[in-house]
């Protein structure tokens, strides 16, 4: 069955579907409803954050034929809120309804081997590629790994996110043991490079190939999970920012991508850029757009899915985003839950709290984020430091 397409814009009053019921789906649903759309969520969790606020919640596995048929019947177009939704489910839905992003793009993002190959192809146009790497799918490929790639990071080709499925290796013997520990699943070995910073770019691309982007975001990760994003004109060299945007657009164009796409980069010690990975969806590092820009990444996700015109987003305030993990709900050294001091945090000017409606706090679980905007960078950073202190966070700036 050939993929369904949008022949004209889906106007408010239509129903937009989303595969996945987490916080990204919840924020998509909020954006769609604010614009007058009905929404339908498919998620196996009966109490999912997005399902709880959507007009329709299909409680179903992502590959359940009956659930997919119900979503196709309800929704006029369908998107996804996380990259591990099975690509075959998206391909099945695309036979009846427009789906953005498409199964092919999501499938590439789900496999680091395919992803690295795509980045390498796009480097010819943008001049920005990925770190030197080797594919390891067999004992012969393991034995053929160049010593120049060590020390490195061994990453499973599939199902790795937030630092999962990654092992640091320093020698051929360590590499062999690490690959054995994965169960000899397909992996990539990336050369470890000297890093100065991390950044990302969020691009929205329409079906006719038009693209717009948000400013480059500087990011700080802890234990593989995004902790802080800071966005303003002073946060990254202007030349590097232009390179990052050009590379992100090249990756999107190369996929013939439709939807919102995040490309994460490493800034190396020598001042050059390499692409780390992509996320075929809105991204944690773009949550600041809810309060610091005139349109958010979720507004653009709605527009790309519905076939509405894209407008270049404008940032009106410098901003820091603090990721809020479930650890904040536990006193240090205790398993007793305590609600963080939101009243004191929200007494600070320019603070915008977003909690995701999750009913149980767990250490390491993403519970929400806090955006801090200000009239200028100095004021914003001062307020962010105060908020971080109140919450017991050690870093308030990337």
- 161 known ligand binder: yes
- 358 known ligand binder: no
Element (H, E) at 152: strand 152-156
- 230 known ligand binder: no
Give φ, ψ of 193 to 5 degrees. -115, 150
Cα separation, 398 vs 393, whole angstroms: 13
- 277 known ligand binder: yes
Nearest alpha carbon to residue 44 among 16, 15, 71, 78: 71
- 162 known ligand binder: yes
- 83 known ligand binder: no
- 336 known ligand binder: no
- 193 known ligand binder: yes
- 210 known ligand binder: no
- 164 known ligand binder: yes
- 163 known ligand binder: yes
- 198 known ligand binder: yes
Cα separation, 152 vs 170, whole angstroms: 6
CB 165 within 8 A of CB 189: no
- 137 known ligand binder: no
- 118 known ligand binder: no
Q: Residues 6 or more apart from 353 whose CB is under 8 A from it?
A: 342, 345, 346, 368, 370
Cα separation, 147 vs 78, whole angstroms: 45
- 174 known ligand binder: no
- Angle, vertex CA 97, rays to CA 95 and CA 102, nearest 5: 75
Binding residues: 112, 155, 160-166, 190-193, 198, 221, 276-277
Binding residues for ATP: 112, 155, 160-166, 190-193, 198, 221, 276-277
């Amino acid at each position: 069955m050939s993929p369904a397409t949008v022949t004209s814009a889906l106007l408010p009053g239509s129903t937009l579907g989303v595969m996945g019921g987490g916080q990204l789906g919840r924020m998509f649903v909020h954006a769609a409803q604010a614009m007058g759309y009905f929404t339908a969520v498919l998620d196996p969790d009966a109490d999912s954050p997005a399902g709880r606020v959507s007009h329709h919640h299909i409680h179903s596995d992502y590959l359940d034929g009956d659930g997919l048929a119900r979503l196709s019947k309800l929704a006029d177009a369908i998107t996804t809120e996380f990259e591990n939704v099975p690509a075959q489910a998206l391909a099945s839905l695309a036979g009846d309804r427009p789906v953005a992003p498409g199964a092919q793009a999501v499938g590439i993002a789900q496999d680091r081997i395919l992803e690295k190959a795509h980045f390498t192809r796009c480097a010819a146009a943008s001049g920005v590629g990925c770190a030197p790497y080797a594919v390891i799918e067999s004992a012969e490929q393991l034995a053929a790994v160049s010593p120049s790639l060590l020390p490195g990071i061994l990453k499973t080709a599939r199902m790795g996110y937030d630092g999962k499925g990654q092992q640091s290796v320093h020698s051929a013997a360590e590499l062999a043991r690490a690959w054995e520990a994965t169960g000899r699943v397909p992996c990539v070995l990336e050369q470890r490079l000297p890093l100065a910073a991390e950044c990302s770019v969020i691009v929205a691309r329409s079906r006719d190939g038009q693209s717009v982007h948000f400013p480059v975001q500087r990011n700080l990760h802890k234990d593989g999970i995004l902790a802080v994003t800071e966005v303003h004109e002073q946060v990254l060299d202007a030349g590097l920012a232009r390179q990052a945007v050009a590379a992100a657009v090249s990756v999107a164009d190369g996929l013939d991508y439709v939807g919102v796409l995040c490309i994460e980069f490493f800034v190396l010690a020598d001042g050059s850029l390499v692409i780390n990975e992509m996320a075929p969806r809105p991204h944690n590092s773009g949550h600041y757009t809810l309060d610091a820009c005139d349109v958010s990444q979720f507004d653009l996700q709605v527009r790309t899915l519905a076939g509405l015109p894209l407008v270049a987003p404008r940032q009106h305030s410098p901003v820091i985003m603090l990721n809020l993990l479930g650890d904040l709900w536990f006193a240090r050294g205790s398993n007793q839950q305590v609600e963080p001091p939101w009243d004191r945090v929200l007494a600070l000017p320019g603070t915008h709290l977003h909690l995701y409606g999750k009913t149980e706090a767990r250490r390491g679980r993403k519970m929400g984020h806090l955006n801090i905007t200000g009239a200028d960078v100095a004021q914003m950073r001062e307020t962010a430091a105060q908020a971080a202190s109140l919450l017991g966070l050690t870093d308030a700036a990337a």
